[in-house]
Amino acid sequence: MIVEKLSHTTRTMKSSMIRELVASTRDIEGLISFAGGFPSPKTFPAEILKDLYSKVIRDEAAGVLQYGASEGDPVLKKQLIEWEGYDISASQMLVTAGSTNAIYYMTRALVDPGDVIICEAPTFLGSLVAFEATGAELHGIPLDQEGLDLNILHSKVDELQSQGKKVKMIYTIPDFHNPAGLTMSLARRKALIEYAIAMQIPILEDNPYSRLRFSGEALPTLYRLATQDYLNHEVVTEAVTFSKILGPGMRLAFVKGDEKLIERMCSWQQKVNIGPDNVSQRVAARFFEAGHMEPHLAKCCDFYRPYLQKMLEAMAKHLPSYIQYTKPEGGIFTWLRLPEDMNADQLFQQAIAKKVSFIPGSKFYPSNQVKYNALRLNFSFSTMEQIDEGMRSLGKLMEDFYA
């Protein structure tokens, strides 16, 4: 009975292949996994959180266990505004239950079935399936060394608009891109913003990793550039998650944008889950207030830096010279570009047999634009030995491919 009653969107929607892929290999003993996007539990500030949770309930139970504002805990928002460090008002910010949640609300706020979302190709699969579930039509734009290829973007938007399609959003991950590990150049950021302002197309900037920079100099976010340099508060909406900073189990993120858009996203939040967990929101607020965030971030970067270093070394040492890869300065992923005739889905099967896993690149493309000659490697969850050993196995498989 139920199956015949399912809605059209539900019957046709895709699941996140990554979760299924990670789940399918969960029971392989001794597996070296470069597949997931999990932060290392060693970076969780458990000692501090243990005390803060207890203190927040002890001192503020009547408030934090009660219904809270759908806009987000005002105590947390005050801290977040300070953290951002530039002029932004509480009505330009919404706290959500993770950035997937923020992305969902923004999509619901803007997209009718058949409307177009432009994304990068490759891009984060979790966002792709959330977009598709709203009935959006996705068009992926390739990346070059500086980020989203603007020439291709321009002609794609022209083409779509000449077909009468409504382009409702450009979705981008400018810092330590998932999966490509790439950081968008400053020039490209500016050009993208100028184009979006001229064309009146909202940008959704997904920013899970910019605070996890291990070396090099930080670039301003698109949101910051748009609001500070272009004095435009409408064109960019930025989602920042705490998943890679405090721990994804807390389900916390915040999103900044035009206050009329934020208001509508808040209406969706009210209807979908009332608001994020109040206890975790207040704990995050007290974490900031007590000055824990900056030293904690420094610790996280100190923790991850040698793993990235190790991964870069292992790639240089073990991969055939014709394999190209990104050399990120932060985040948790790197991306391998294989020769045209090497299929990462096939390689995945062989790698699993050797007890090494990764995510084949094909999982990161809109369904009509799939490419097979790339793969994503995560370096935040394995040991140093596993990184070396796993990359040795992968390199060997690649060499055998042409043997």
Cβ 323 to a second copy shortest distance, Å: 29
The residue (of 143 and 225) whose beta carbon lies closer to a second copy is: 225
What residues from 358 to 397 belong to the interface with a second copy (CB under 8 A)?
none
Cβ 220 to a second copy shortest distance, Å: 21
Indicate which single residue of 95, 279, 347, 387 sits in contact with a second copy (rule: CB under 8 A).
279
Indicate which single residue of 41, 142, 216, 306 sits in contact with a second copy (rule: CB under 8 A).
41
- Residue 299 vs residues 25, 169, 289: alpha-carbon distances, Å: 31, 35, 18
DSSP code of residue 330: B
Segment contacting a second copy (CB under 8 A): 84-92, 128-136, 157-165, 288-296?
128-136
Segment contacting a second copy (CB under 8 A): 40-48, 335-343, 349-357, 366-374?
40-48
With a CB cutoff of 8 Å and minimum separation 6, the contacts of 69 are: 275
Indicate which single residue of 13, 28, 150, 297 sits in contact with a second copy (rule: CB under 8 A).
13
Instruction: Write out the H or E segment, with its range, that includes residue 172.
Output: strand 167-172
Instruction: Write out the H or E segment, with its range, that includes residue 147.
Output: strand 147-148
- Return d(Cα 185, Cα 174) in angstroms, integer: 8
E strands, 59-154, in order: 93-96, 116-121, 137-144, 147-148
Q: How far is CA 371 from the centre of its chain?
A: 20
Among 255, 262, 249, 252, which Cα is nearest to 282's?
Answer: 252
Asked if residue 311 lies in contact with residue 324, where contact means CB atoms within 8 angstroms, the answer is no
Indicate which single residue of 1, 198, 231, 403 sits in contact with a second copy (rule: CB under 8 A).
1
The residue (of 210 and 380) whose beta carbon lies closer to a second copy is: 380
Cβ 186 to a second copy shortest distance, Å: 24
> How many chain residues are in contact with a second copy, going by CB under 8 A?
79
Instruction: Write out the H or E segment, with its range, that includes residue 143.
Output: strand 137-144
Indicate which single residue of 186, 229, 260, 324 sits in contact with a second copy (rule: CB under 8 A).
260
- Return d(Cα 355, Cα 128) in angstroms, integer: 28
The structure tokens 């409702």 sit at 168
The structure tokens 């399912």 sit at 6
Indicate which single residue of 179, 276, 330, 390 sits in contact with a second copy (rule: CB under 8 A).
276
- Return d(Cα 49, Cα 91) in angstroms, integer: 28
Segment contacting a second copy (CB under 8 A): 39-47, 176-184, 296-304, 333-341?
39-47
Burial of 153 (0-12, 13-18, 19+ CB in 10 A): buried
62 makes contact with a second copy (CB under 8 A): yes
The residue (of 197 and 323) whose beta carbon lies closer to a second copy is: 197
Indicate which single residue of 84, 115, 149, 289 sits in contact with a second copy (rule: CB under 8 A).
115
The residue (of 112 and 294) whose beta carbon lies closer to a second copy is: 112
Cβ 111 to a second copy shortest distance, Å: 5
Cβ 60 to a second copy shortest distance, Å: 9
What residues from 147 to 186 belong to the interface with a second copy (CB under 8 A)?
168
